[in-house]
Structure 1
Amino acid sequence: MNITLQKIGAWYDPAGSSFIVWAPACKKVELILESPPPTAHPMMPDGVGYWRITLPVPAGTPYRFRLNEENSYPDPASFHQPQGVHEPSVLVSRTDPSAGDEDWKGIPLSNMIIYELHTGCFSDTHDFDGIIRRLDYLDELGINTIELMPMGQCPGQRNWGYDGVAPFAIQHSYGGIRGFQRLVKAAHAKGIAVLVDVVYNHLGPEGNYLPFYGPYFSERYRTPWGSPLNFDGPWSDGVRNFFLQNARMWLEDYQVDGLRLDAVHAIYDFSACHFMQELKDLALDIETRTGRKKILIAEIDLNDPRYINSVEKGGYGLDGQWVDEFHHALRVLLTGERNAYYEDFGDITHLEKAFRHTYVYNGIYSQHRKKTFGGYADQHPFSQFVVFSQNHDQVGNRPMGDRLTHNVSFEQLKLAAATVLLSPYVPLLFMGEEYGEKNPFQFFTDFSDPALIEAVRAGRKKEFPAFAEGLVPPDPQSEETFLRSNLSWHFREGQGATLLAYYRHLIRLRKTRPALQGMTREEFHLYPLEGQTLSFERKILTDQVYVWLHFGDSPAIIHNPTGCALRKIFDSAAAAWCGPGEKINNGKIELQPYSAVVYEKIIS
């Protein structure tokens, strides 16, 4: 597909800076330069909704757009909002003056070990430089990809990022454009790819000025966050261009390696070419021109493979997707929780199915949804699916933001890590899980609208009866809630140090054994369940590895089903991992409660 996009935003040039805004319903649009004294400059329409003007304006100049000689608003495609979402946009040079990373080519999704983090909570400085200072730590852990929660400008100083209203402006409290450019370069220099979480299904409730500019939103559908974006109605070309330009900014201007696409099931588009397909075409175009791999990973709550099916098979061609059901099956098996959507899980057969078919609900009846649900993903390689035992949603959307550390034993924590890292899928860690972080990760905001603040507080309380009736969620607006959610970095002694070494060992094992790296479904063999024990073989060429995951609360003795002579190479119950000690191997597979063991085939 030929990608032709309309430029938007303010583009600094010493010879004359260009200001371009999409406002198709307006009769008149003026650029208001707010450097004293303020001046108004009429903009020229082009007949398809875009207004333009070029003027010799110095970088650092604040500006707004005045619509129909009435109110003026920040630029919807502003690259810089240093005073917040309600204040003027600022013209800024985005040219990176530092040396480039021209040799960087990216990392295939199949090879990624992903680490999800929130920029504000990851370090004590709450910014990009704080991440840079921890890159050596992440590299030593074995992480080769970081995934940053959304960074578009939100109201105030702190937010998860999903309330962004200026998606082109990097959150000023994180360090803005220059801080992010430093982070990308530093990460690439360490061999670490950078993914950015983007939100193309809704905008936040405060500071959202897009409706004043044009029909950005649709009333034809509804989402949990209100009206969805207009991707398929009248004037939708301008909306699609807005978000495609945003993706191009991240992937090309800022040289990130891929995007995690939030809740794509809430992007409603019945066009002949779905927005997701157009987005993939754009990523491929950038990849071809730059010679760098560009990855698109979708969060989907539909168990619908069309998002990752090829265009030739009627799909949208995305590279991969998150698999929440792997998490649900694993968590409920460990904790016994059966509230809300967890009611559809609870038996080891659900986890076995997550390994065998990826989607647990693949055309079967869901009690929680009260309907038959899901499609089949068996034709897709494991490398298209990202799995985890924790992430921002599955921790932060609990009433108290409690991590798995608070809900299971140390042996179960180790088993959860092994289940993810020894699986054939792409593993994702949530910041701090590698050392058993005790601080919660709670929902926090920094709105300025009193009515909205109270509405959010009430909404959080109303949201959680199915999970924990009687618990009062922390006040999202309180700075203490944010500070409480910051990483403690207490890992230098005790179980934290052991767990960190354990994660490093498992990641190193995964990265150095061919059989534990990317593989086809034909190279993976799942053995029949034996009680509470799930076992599988991973084989690439002559490297054969056998894994047993035991979810029982008592020891188990398993007959060797492989017919091969085996040698144990890992046991989560070993004393080195502060476990109860390994069971003696007498030709059988002997397992401690809640343990993971790995054997290799002895080559004679």
Structure 2
Amino acid sequence: MHFEVWAPQAGRVTLRCDGATRALEPDPERPGWWSGEAEARDGSRYGFALDDGPVLPDPRSRRQPDGPDGLSAVVDQGRHTWRSDGWAGRPLPGAVLYELHLGTYTPEGTFDAAAGRLEHLVELGVTHVELMPVCPFPGRHGWGYDGVSLWAVHEPYGGPEGLKRFVDRAHELGLGVVLDVVHNHLGPSGNHLPRFGPYFTDTHHTPWGSAVNLDAPGSDEVRDYLLGSALAWLRDYRLDGLRLDAVHALVDTRARHFLEELSAAVDALAADLGRPLFLIGESDLNDPRLITPRAEHGLGLHAQWSDDFHHAVHTAVTGESQAYYADFARAPLAALAKTLTGGYFHDGTYSSFRGRHHGRPLDRTRTAGHRLLGYSQTHDQIGNRARGDRLSGLLADAPGLLACAATLTLTAPFTPMLFMGEEWAAGTPWQYFTDHTDPELAEAVRQGRRREFGAHGWAAQDVPDPQDPATRDRSCLDWSEPGRAPHARVLDWYRRLIALRRALPDLTDPDLAATRVAHDEEAGWLALRRGDVRVAVNLGSTTAAIPLGTRPARVLAAWEPVEAPDGTGLLRLPGRSCVVLAQS
């Protein structure tokens, strides 16, 4: 087997494979690279020693059986017999995504256990599962955003074969699979890349420390490392797309931005494989260039998360106004209306949270609505609260407002995304949990969390300990809930809305400019027009008279019993309720 590693600063490199050692030779064609042949097979343990240093895992390791600090293992990607060879892919337009954390989707926290629950998603009507990161990280349980070994799969989840079985089962059921990948930083523990080469640079800094080296000396190989990792997920594991974490933290001053290079490579791979592939970016910039095609001088990502839509929905149904919610809470329905029709709320407006103007407008005549993901809940927006409380916890006494949030999400002109369990108003929280094996790091995370929320008035004992196994256990979904009240009613509502979205072309029309919104801030109602479909939500506590026009309309779905508009065109919608109608 051929082994190779990039170690430009090393004077010599030794390969240790299955207990045997041999010196690698410099590659005359590629400066900084070392290579050589050795006997190996699937499962062989190996690593590299630089000069007189210890044996380290391969930066491009496909498997870390003993965790990030252990030896790497050879993976024969051709050994898996795919059952879903005829999979043609599922494109992003018209999709409904479902964000899922492997470690808490089931109590077992494995790929195989999660695969056993995929039929629930088929019955729900979603089209794609979006997996939170699965790269190796220290310990067993964690969110995955402190991962290392960007080509490998977390062993406690089931390793490379477990991921392939999961993807195979999803594809058999008609579900696409999207993976959340983190290129902007690596975990604080188990990260051996700096020993091999200039993977990081002090030229730029991020919230996690030194930036990933995308533009300083040595960055050609670092970019190739990240590109190769991304393409390997799509090719070797037959994934359908990638979600790119916090791309605003990818500092790159080169003329061709890394994201543009990545999007071109993914489009080329899609053409080669003959199936659609897509990239979804998480960005805090509200910069349309992120999702503008490369031919129009954009970066070419296919979509981005839309936190503005989340903030508008959240403030409208909860009334919260702290931190970044403040600007939305001043007139929440107006904020929601602006976001529904323009994509961004902050499109060059002043952001009090940032203390400056923020964003720029989307060209809504040229930007398709499906390029923005709309959601009322995500892992970030739940888990980064002190106690990880979901909307179902915040609105436990107002299930109608939960139904309104779902209705807005699933009838908006965006690609909707749900967070696991929201479809049945899960009674379990989703909290921040870690399993750091370094005692000092574990204590630093614990105290840092308490300080962060202590500054906002939280007592230390009221902030869950991330290192306590009970914090993770509390965050696991309770699969007995969907079949009983009050969860079953919410689940039925989600299923009905998704079915309507699938049945009515107007609800997947990507034309933002054709979306019309009316609202009454004081009365608390908002009405949305999508072609011949009318959607109305009443967030107030009393019945609202909502003018929908005099064209005949019929009720397609209603949270509470409601009559079609009368002869004057007025819809009388009960408080904290919602309805979807069709006009003809």
TM-score by length of 1: 0.92
Q: 1:340, 1:466 within 8 Å by CA — same for their partners in 2?
A: no
Establish whether residue 48 from structure 1 lines up as the match of residue 31 from structure 2.
yes
Q: Which residue of 2 aligns with 1:538?
A: 530
Give unpaired runs (5+ residues) of structure 1.
Answer: 1-16, 575-581
Q: Which residue of 1 aligns with 2:502?
A: 511
Tell whether the 8 Å contact from 2:263 to 2:301 is kept in structure 1 after alignment: yes
Q: How far is the alpha carbon of 1:464 from its aligned partner?
A: 2.4
Query: Could you tell me how far 1:467 is from its partner in structure 2?
Result: 5.2
Residue 66 of structure 1: SS of its match in structure 2? strand
Do structure 1's residue 555 and structure 2's residue 543 form an aligned pair?
yes
- For 2:116, which of 123, 133, 157 is the aligned residue? 133
Deviation for aligned residue 1:466: 6.0
- Specify the code of the residue in structure 1 equivalent to 2:237: Y
The one-letter code of the counterpart of 1:113 is V
Preserved contact between residue 403 and residue 441 of structure 1 (Cα < 8 Å)? yes
Greater CA drift, 110-119 or 59-68: 59-68
Opposite residue 209 of structure 2, the aligned amino acid is G
Show the counterpart of 2:558: 571
1:29 maps onto 2:13 in alignment: yes
In 2, the alpha carbon distance for the partners of 1:126 and 1:468 equals 33
- Residues 175-219 of structure 1: CA deviation (Å, up to 9, x unaligned): 111111111111111110000000000000001000000000010
2:575 maps to 1:593: yes
For the structure 1 residues 42 and 50, does the alpha-carbon distance in structure 2 shift closer, same or farther, using more than 3 Å as the test? closer
Please point out which of 95, 103, 127 is paired with 1:144.
127
- Per-residue CA deviation, residues 504-557 of structure 1 (Å, 9 max, x unaligned), is 111101101111123312432223546422212112xxxx11111222222111
The aligned residue for residue 492 of structure 2 is: 501
Give the Cα separation in 1 of the matches to 2:257 and 2:453: 34
Partners of 2:270 and 2:552 lie apart in 1 by: 46
Match status 1:421 vs 2:421: no
What is the match of residue 392 of structure 2? 405
- Residue of structure 2 equivalent to 1:434: 423
Q: Which residue of the partner structure matches residue 443 of structure 2? A: 454
Equivalent residue for 2:21, pick from 18, 39, 53: 39
CA contact (8 A) 2:177 2:241 kept: yes
Provide closer, same or farther for how the CA distance between residues 39 and 296 of structure 1 changes in structure 2, counting only shifts above 3 A. same
CA contact (8 A) 2:199 2:213 kept: yes
Deviations 1:103-154 (A, max 9, x none): 2222221111100000111112211111211111110010110000000001
Q: CA deviation at 1:584?
A: 7.3
Q: Which shows bigger deviation, 114-123 or 524-533?
A: 524-533
What's the CA shift for 1:57?
Answer: 1.6
AA aligned opposite 1:555:
T
**SS, match of residue 53 in structure 1:** strand
C-alpha contact 1:31 1:43 (8 A) present in aligned 2 = no
Which of 61, 65, 68 pairs up with 1:85? 68
Does residue 396 (structure 1) correspond to residue 365 (structure 2)? The answer is: no
Q: In the alignment, does 2:459 pair up with 1:476?
A: no
Contact 1:358 1:378 in 2 (8 A): no
Partner residue of 1:213? 196
Cα shift at 1:165: 1.1
For the residues of structure 1 that align with 2:169 and 2:220, how far apart are their CA atoms? 37
Q: Is the 8 A contact 1:149 1:197 kept in 2?
A: yes
Shift of 1:585: 4.5
Match of 1:113 among 96, 112, 115: 96
CA 1:468/1:40 → structure 2, altered by over 3 Å: closer, same or farther? farther
Q: Which residue of 2 aligns with 1:12?
A: none
Within a 5 Å distance, the mapping from 1:120-519 to structure 2 comes to: 120-346=103-329, 347=331, 348-379=333-364, 380-408=367-395, 409-465=398-454, 469-470=458-459, 472-489=462-479, 490-519=481-510
* Whole-Å separation in 2 of the counterparts to 1:312 and 1:115: 30
Please report the RMSD computed on the Cα atoms of aligned residues, expressed in angstroms. Answer: 1.6
Q: 1:467 to 1:418 in 2, by over 3 A?
A: farther
Report if aligned partners of 1:569, 1:599 keep a CA contact under 8 Å in 2. Answer: yes
Give the Å deviation of 1:465: 4.4
AA of the residue aligned to 1:474? P
Letter in structure 1 aligned against 2:450:
K
CA deviations 1:300-325 (Å, max 9, x no partner) are 00111111112233210100000011
Distance in 1 (CA, whole Å) between partners of 2:23 and 2:75 is 19
SS of residue matched to 1:494: coil
Mapped to 1, the partners of 2:34 and 2:580 lie a distance apart of 63
Once residues 349 and 72 of structure 2 are traced to their aligned partners in structure 1, the CA distance between those partners, rounded to angstroms, is 51
Q: Amino acid of the residue matched to residue 183 of structure 1? A: F
**Residues 554 and 564 in structure 2, CA contact (< 8 A), matched pair in contact too:** no
Distance 2:33 2:456 in 1: 48
Q: Share of identical aligned residues, percent?
A: 40
> Within 1, Cα distance between the matches of 2:179 and 2:64?
19
Give, in angstroms, the shift of residue 298 of structure 1: 0.2
TM-score by length of 2: 0.95
Shift in Å at residue 296 of structure 1?
0.2
Query: Match of 2:100, as an amino acid?
Result: L
What residue identity is the alignment partner of 1:150? P
- Secondary structure at 1:549's aligned position in 2? strand
Query: Does structure 1 retain, via aligned residues, the 8 Å contact 2:24–2:34?
Result: no
Native 8 Å contact 1:201 1:262 kept in 2 = yes
State the match for 2:46 in structure 1: 63
User: How much has 1:60 moved relative to structure 2?
Assistant: 2.0
Opposite residue 534 of structure 2, the aligned amino acid is: Y
- Structure 2: 5+ residue stretches without partners: none
Q: Please say if residues 327 and 351 of structure 2, whose CA atoms lie closer than 8 Å, have aligned partners that are also in contact.
A: yes
Is contact 1:529-1:535 (8 Å) kept? no
Instruction: Render the CA deviation track for 1:336-389: whole Å, top value 9, x for unaligned.
Output: 111221222212111111112111011111111110111111331111000111
The residue aligned with 1:9 is none
- CA displacement at 1:51 relative to structure 2: 1.2
Task: Give the letter aligned to residue 452 of structure 2.
Answer: E
Residue aligned with 1:417, SS? helix
Q: Alignment length, in residue pairs? A: 572
